[in-house]
Structure 1
Amino acid sequence: MAGRKQFDVGTALEAAMIQFWRAGHADTSVDDLSRVTGLNRSSLYSSFGGKDALFLRCLDRYVTRYGERFDAALADAGDQPVAGVRAFFEVTLERIADPALPDGCLVAQTAMAIPSLSPAVAERAQQAVGIQQTRLRAALTTMPDQTAEVYAVHVAAVNQSLAVMSRTGASAAQLRAIVSVTLDALENAI
């Protein structure tokens, strides 16, 4: 029937998200998005409103998917912040180890590209990093406020660095060693 979308929006968003994750915002063209989604340019624009609008939907999809997993990991630890942060890192390490997914992290690579992004995309990337810090801060309630704030920022930074290191070819053992150092420091601070 004319005028009705003849494609699955979720499937198209997933394909676009993987493309942006693999190549980054700047290195993903509308032609790339058309190829991976199976939609022509006009369908992409009419359905998603252009590259930046599509990217924002993909970034939101990514943040929601992994945010829910991070929240569950931290919530399961209760009043044991080190266990919570360990579980938090496991979410990232499992994602990195999944051969079906691109290396790295869509949020981390977007944050690194902030100087070249549109203001709306740059703002959303900053918000995504801030959400992660807030999530971690809420899990570190057994620590004094100032210390918890510092560790929330530190753990978020280490988490983002795991994604960057995975893209540069760091081994699973190297990534786990990075996590161990952070967990040891957190345990000593508590």
Structure 2
Amino acid sequence: MSGRKQFDVGTALDQAMRVFWQRGYADASLDVLGSATGLGRGSLYGAFGNKDRLFRQCLDRYAAIYGARYEQALAAHPGDPVRAVEAFFDVILARIADPETPTGCLIAQSATQSPTLQEENGAKVRGLLDLQRRRVREALAGASADPRVLDELATYVVAVNQSLAVLSRAGAPDAELRSVVRLACATVADTLARTAPEAAAPR
């Protein structure tokens, strides 16, 4: 049929996403993106627009795939915020251990290049980090700690997640990553226990 795309857009987007994930925005040239997707420049532009628009679409796809898994894990343990955080990190460790996925994290990789990104792309990356923080914060909402403490813990959990991405990209072994997660979950549990109203009440 005349004018019909002769390639699967979703597959091409997944392939482009892997390039940005592995190389970062700066080193993901149009030639490399074209080689990975099997598309010429004209087809890339026709399907996705310019490199910046393609990058944003890849961020959206990454967030849709992995964000849904994070959200499901965080929501699976209502009333038990510590277990929710543990489940969140279980999903992250599973992604890192998956041999079919690049090392690190596309959002973490992109965040390190924020100063060089187009303003709209930088805002997109920050927005995805904020979304992750909000999801964690919602999972902590059932705890009886001060809201400010819960805000700080949500930021802390996201910071640990980004650290895991950097460590895995640097070749840290699974045992080391799991040690970081154990300490992070213990910190969340200890902070919630210490700041609960019944713990803070004078005796």
Q: Distance in 2 between matches of 1:177 and 1:74?
A: 20
Does the residue aligned with 2:129 lie in a helix, a strand or coil?
Answer: helix
Query: Percent of counterpart pairs with the same letter?
Result: 48
Deviations 1:108-146 (A, max 9, x none): 010110000001110000001000110011111113201
Counterpart of 1:170 in structure 2 is: 172
1:40 corresponds to:
40
Aligned counterpart, 1:145: 147
Larger Rg: 2
Q: Look up the SS of the partner of 2:6 in the other structure.
A: coil
Q: 172, 182, 185: which one pairs with 2:184? A: 182
TM-score, normalised to structure 2, is 0.92
1:13 aligns with 2:13: yes
Runs of 4+ in 1 over 2 A off after TM superposition: none
Alpha-carbon displacement from aligned partner over 1:41-78 (angstroms, at most 9, x marks no partner) = 00101110011111100000001111100110011111
RMSD: 0.7
- Please report how far the alpha carbon of residue 19 of structure 1 lies from its aligned counterpart in structure 2 after TM superposition: 0.9
**Aligned equivalent of 2:56:** 56
Task: State the AA in 2 paired with 1:184.
Answer: A
Q: Report how many aligned residue pairs link the two structures.
A: 190
In the TM superposition, what is the alpha-carbon distance from 1:2 to its structure 2 partner?
2.5
The alpha-carbon deviation at position 168 of structure 1 amounts to 0.6
Gaps of 5+ in 2: 193-203
